[in-house]
Chain A
Amino acid sequence: MENLLQIKAENITIAYGDFVLMKNLNFEIKKQDIFIIMGGSGCGKSSLLRILTGLHSSPTGRFFIDGIDYVHSTPLQQKELMKKCGILYQSGALFSSMTLGENIALPLQQYTDYSPKLIKELVELKLALVGLKGFADFYPSEISGGMAKRAGLARALALDPEILYCDEPSAGLDPISSKLLDDLILDLNQSLGTTFVIVTHELASIFAVGSNSIFLDTESKSILARGNPKELLNNPPNEKIYEFLTRGKKHG
């Protein structure tokens, strides 16, 4: 079970019009992996995540979720595949006119036939899982940035997704909140068996949670390295990776 393939990307190109950011990206993400997409600012990490979540199309290539080609699926099939995925946006992206409870209940109301009572119980459970028990009646404007991130995570978890995409989850958080979020990601990964695909350049988070990774390089427009971040640090395949993983130290 643990080594089964969850996502496979083939020849993905990231481009905006004629401007090509990355070309021919190939990588595989196994089930229950915490897969880190890392690289310098503007290298296309978030754009790659947008492609994998169907928000942006790639001019070439395709990707598979549980063996099904997402790119060449019908819109209905794509919708079904996306039901397996949850997304945590950089700012939490909570709907400001809804309470946290209503935010989390929304996907449950849209995609399940659960009774309102069960939906309420599930909302309470998801909030409890992210440490926000009792906050269901709060509006996003009434909570802190870190709490908004966790509430966003609770909403992403609403449908028990198999894959959870996180865009810069620790950006803008203090070190303690960032650590708590990392712990939460590890807990959810181990208890729910969720596969995490995380875009980040926060080194502490990369080493704390990452089990596998790719490093995107702007210069070569390709993947410069792949593997467990800690192993990449111990045996850096090239100078650039070492510099990135050590905040600019020179190798040797």
Chain B
Amino acid sequence: MEITYKQNKEKLTVFLSGSYVDYDNEEEKSILYEKSQSRTIKEIVVEADDLKNWDSTLVVVLCKLRTIAQERKINYNFSSLPEHLSRLIDLAFSVDRKPTHSDSEFKCYLERLGNIGVNAWKSFCRGCHFMRLSWSSIGRLLIGKAIFRKVDFLFSLEDCTYRAVGIISLVSFMVGLILAFVGAIQLKNFGAQIYVASLVAIGMTRIMGAIMAGVVVSGRTGASYAATIGTMQVNEELDALKTMGISIIDFLVLPRISSLIISMPFITLLADAMGILGGGTVGILMLGISPEEYIKYTTDALNMKNFLVGVFHGFIYGYVIAICGCYYGINCGRNADSVGVATTKAVVSSIVWMIVVTGIVTAAMEVLGI
């Protein structure tokens, strides 16, 4: 149905008759609003004697007319509306408080840039403080004063070892395979494809095995830490621990850090072995190197120093992944959305910090001649 109106000198009478369900005639509404805002109009009257059905779309129009009348301080008469409709409009106008929104003020480019820098520095300091807390906690563990449940440690250990074996083996095998393929392309030009075995052995044991294990564990275990602890934050479980006087670092972070720093060196060794196996598959099956030759060149290339460097990387990555996962979980917001954000941040930051740490460790080893 359409809304009709009649102007009689200073009075605007709006006629409602029939059914107004899903009423969405924008043109008609804007003309009506324009008319009611005209300076000549001093009173708005609604005649609704023949009104039958209506829904919220009509209430919107009537509320707008009343708002216009109130803003212009002119009279309005809605008394012919059905009682329940009239009551609904009154209800919509019953609370008229202005919300106070913490709108961010306009900031100039330089100020915003400065804020980004300050926030990044604060975030770095918070991260350092968190690491210091974790070291204190490890210290308490070593002197037998840390409180945590053994079952949490064992569950965490199971999650990052036994349950992760399949995916780490597969990824490392494929990386070894790719490394062998890529190496073979260049080495073939010099008739030196036999050195694929050495390339894969050194590459995997020194760094690639640790990195691939780190990336997989970060996406799997680190994300799970952030999500679990983040959900605990949403459910106020962290608050409960704090109010019970239990250190959340000892209770939640320590079992996770210790399980990862214990398991990561072994996971790295597994990744090394699977990578070498992947390289061997390419060397033996596709490059025509005999198994005996491949094994000989591999064992010649392997040395304890490279193994230890790889294992050391794994150890450091374990700590980095656990710290990132737990830090973002504990600093998670209090809604469902923030758990997702915390998980993403944990994975991204752990991978970034793994690369940064690799750079630092590599440079340090170069200086030390290792």
- Mark A108-135 against chain B: 1 for CB-CB distance below 8 A, else 0: 0000111101100110011011011111
B202 to chain A, nearest CB (A): 47
- Is the beta-carbon distance between A138 and B87 smaller than 8 angstroms? no
* A140 touches which of B95, B96, B101, B335 (Cβ 8 Å): B335
Bound complex: CA A112 to CA B22 (Å): 9
Residue B85 at the A interface, CB < 8 A?
Answer: yes
Residue B57 at the A interface, CB < 8 A?
Answer: yes
Number of interface residues of A (CB under 8 A): 32
Residue A69 at the B interface, CB < 8 A?
Answer: no
Query: Which residues of chain B come closer than 8 Å to A203, judged between CB atoms?
Result: none
Residue A187 at the B interface, CB < 8 A?
Answer: yes
Residue B111 at the A interface, CB < 8 A?
Answer: no
Query: Which residues of chain B come closer than 8 Å to A115, judged between CB atoms?
Result: 24, 26
Query: Which residues of chain B come closer than 8 Å to A184, judged between CB atoms?
Result: 91
The closest CB in chain A to the CB of B30 belongs to: A117
The closest CB in chain B to the CB of A136 belongs to: B99
Bound complex: CA A191 to CA B83 (Å): 8
Query: Which residues of chain A come closer than 8 Å to B107, judged between CB atoms?
Result: none
Residue B352 at the A interface, CB < 8 A?
Answer: no
Bound complex: CA A234 to CA B359 (Å): 80
Number of interface residues of B (CB under 8 A): 31
B residues 1-30 touching A (CB-CB < 8 Å): 22, 24, 26
- Is the beta-carbon distance between B24 and A191 smaller than 8 angstroms? no
- Is the beta-carbon distance between B336 and A128 smaller than 8 angstroms? no
B residues 44-83 touching A (CB-CB < 8 Å): 55-57, 59-60, 63-64
* B92 touches which of A125, A135, A138, A141 (Cβ 8 Å): A125
- Is the beta-carbon distance between A134 and B98 smaller than 8 angstroms? yes
Residue A137 at the B interface, CB < 8 A?
Answer: yes
With A131-B94, A160-B55 given, can you name 10 additional A-B contacts, CB distance below 8 Å? Answer: A118-B26, A125-B59, A129-B92, A133-B97, A140-B335, A187-B91, A188-B91, A191-B84, A191-B87, A193-B84
Which residues does A use to contact B, with CB under 8 Å?
A: 96-97, 112-115, 117-118, 121-122, 125-126, 128-129, 131-135, 137-138, 140-142, 160, 184, 187-188, 190-193
Bound complex: CA A160 to CA B64 (Å): 19
- Is the beta-carbon distance between A141 and B84 smaller than 8 angstroms? no
B98 to chain A, nearest CB (A): 6
- Is the beta-carbon distance between B88 and A191 smaller than 8 angstroms? yes
A233 to chain B, nearest CB (A): 28
- Is the beta-carbon distance between A128 and B88 smaller than 8 angstroms? no
- Is the beta-carbon distance between B92 and A128 smaller than 8 angstroms? yes
The closest CB in chain A to the CB of B94 belongs to: A131
- Is the beta-carbon distance between B22 and A192 smaller than 8 angstroms? no
Query: Which residues of chain A come closer than 8 Å to B333, judged between CB atoms?
Result: 141
Residue B93 at the A interface, CB < 8 A?
Answer: yes
Query: Which residues of chain A come closer than 8 Å to B105, judged between CB atoms?
Result: none
The closest CB in chain A to the CB of B63 belongs to: A125
Top 9 nearest A-B pairs (CB, nearest first) are A96-B335, A131-B95, A191-B88, A128-B92, A191-B87, A121-B60, A97-B337, A96-B337, A134-B99
